[in-house]
Amino acid sequence: MTVKFVLREDKTDKNGLAPVFIIAHFEGLRLQGFTREKCLAKEWNADKQRFRKAKEGYEEANNVLDAIAERVQKRYRELRTAGTPPTLALIREVINPTAIVPELGFVEAMTAFIEVLRGRGYAFNTLRHYGTARNHLATFLASGRRKKINVANYDGATHDDFVKYLRTSCGLGANGIYSVVKDLKTFLRYAQDERQQTLGLELKRVEVRYADQAKTYLSGADLAALAAVKLSATLEPARDVFLFCCYTGLRYSDVAALHGGNLHALGANGDGDQVLRLVQTKTRATVSIYLSRLAADILDRYAAPERSGDGAKLLPVLANQPMNRYLKKITQQAGLKRLVEVVSTAGGRVVKEAVPLHELVTMHTARHTFAVQSLLRGMPVAVLQRVMGHSKIQNTMKYAQVVEELQHQAMRAAGDGPATPAAAVLDNAVCAAMAAA
C-alpha cells in the first residue's frame, strides 16, 4: 500500500483555504478521503506532503496526518493478516465516513480499471480499446447530463440509451457496438467479481451479438496482377510490404516492427533458407514463419546485407493510414475492380451494395489472403493456426470464404472430375511453417 497527502487547490473555499486529502493505493484500488485539515496554498509543502511552519499549529496538524496514515496502514495489514481481501469499504472505516469522497463516477471507475489492466501487463492496443469504450461512455454521459452515474446506478434503461447513442449518434455498426459493449461488460464483471460492487443491472443485460462478416481477400490472380503492375517510386514500397504480408500472414503491427533479430537462417553455415521468428504484438504468441522465395526476394530488395546482425528495420513500412490509402490506389491501378457485395445496417434495415474490390483493401486484407491461400493450397488448419498465432482453432476457421472455396472445389471434383488447383502466385513453400524454436 502507498499513502500520500495532496492539497486539493481545485476545492479552495471563499477564504482561500484548500482541503488536504489522503490518497491510498492498494491492490488496484484507490481510496481518497478528506482529512478535515485545510490551509492556504503557501502553507503546504507538496514535496514533503506536510504543512509548512507558516501555518499556525503546523506541528499538531502534521501529527494528525501522521496518525491517519498510520491507521490506514495498520488496517490494511490487519486485513491481510486475517486473510480478508482489503476493500475500499473496509479500509475507509479508519477515516471519518463523512469525510470520504463519494464513490467514483462510472468514467473515473473505468479509468481506474484500465490502470489496473496496465499494471497487470495488458498490451497497449488492448488498453487503447478499453480507452475507446471509456471515451464513448464519457461523451454519452456528458451529453445526457448523467455525470452522477456510477456502477451502482448504471441501470438497464441507461444502458439501452447508451447502445442507442452508439448506433444513432456515433454511427457505429453492429460490430463496432459489440466491441464497445464487450469492453464495458468486462469492466462491470471486474467491478462485481473483484471489487464486490453492486451493479445496477444484471450482466446478462449487457449483451450485443457479433455479426459475422465476409472477409475481403485476394485471389491468386489478384496477387499476380498486383505483383506485375508498374508503380511510381512512392507506391512501390507500399505494394511490396503488402505482398510480403500476403506471403507471410503478418499483421501490420508485426511487419512494421521487423528487425534484423527476427531473421534466421536454417542452414548450418547460415546459407540455407530463412525464417522469421517473432513474438506477435497483439497476442504475445511466438511464431516462426518460413520465408518463401517471393517473400525472401522482397526482403532482399530492401534490407541491407548485414540486416541479420543489427536492429535495423527490414522493410519500409509507413504509418497504417497512409499504407491503407496507398493500397487503394495501387489495387485500382492493378485492375482489382470487380464488384464485392458489402452488407451493412442503417436504421434497422439491411443494406446491400456492390463495392469495387480496390476500395475494400487494407493492410489486414493481406492476413486474410494468406489464410485463404494457405488452406486452398492444402495447409492443415492446425499448422495455419500456429503460423497465425491464434490461441483457439475456432479463430482460424472464421474465414467463411475459405470454406466456400473449398466447397466449390469439392463440388467441382464430384461433378466434373479432378479439381483444377486454384490460381495462385504464392510459391509452393510460402505457407510452410516450422515449430517455434
> What string of DSSP letters covers 120-131?
TT--HHHHHHHH
Q: Confirm if 288 and 433 have CB atoms less than 8 A apart.
A: yes
Q: pTM above the 0.85 mark? A: no
Task: Write the CA distances from 119 to 2, 76, 129, integer angstroms.
Answer: 15, 20, 16
Confidence check: pLDDT of 295 > 90: yes
Domain ends where: 176, 205, 234? 205
pLDDT in tens, 224-241: 999 999 999 999 999 999
Residues 158 and 190 in one domain: yes
Residues 149 and 247 in one domain: no
What span, in angstroms and rounded, lies between the C-alpha atoms of 62 and 379? 71
Residues 336 and 294 in one domain: yes
Domains: count for the chain: 3
Residues 288 and 362 in one domain: yes
Q: Which three cell numbers stand for residue 74?
A: 495498520
Assign residue 424 the CATH number of its domain: 1.10.443.10
Assign residue 162 the CATH number of its domain: 1.10.150.130
Helix 220-228 to helix 363-376 angle, to the nearest 10 degrees? Answer: 130
387's CB contacts (< 8 A; 6+ apart) are 249, 287, 289, 374, 431, 433
pLDDT in tens, 129-152: 999 999 999 999 988 777 678 888
Domain ends where: 190, 205, 220? 205
Residues 195 and 228 in one domain: no
Domain that holds residue 86: 2-99
Residues 114 and 94 in one domain: no
Residues 17 and 42 in one domain: yes
Residues 354 and 435 in one domain: yes
3-class DSSP state for residue 39? Answer: strand
Residues 37 and 127 in one domain: no
221's CB contacts (< 8 A; 6+ apart) are 423
Confidence check: pLDDT of 103 > 50: yes
Residues 242 and 383 in one domain: yes
Phi/psi at 44 (nearest 5 deg)? -115, 130
pLDDT in tens, 199-225: 888 888 888 776 666 678 899 999 999
335's CB contacts (< 8 A; 6+ apart) are 225, 229
Residues 234 and 153 in one domain: no
Query: Taking the alpha carbons of 117, 119, 121, 127 in that order, is the dihedral positive or negative?
Result: positive
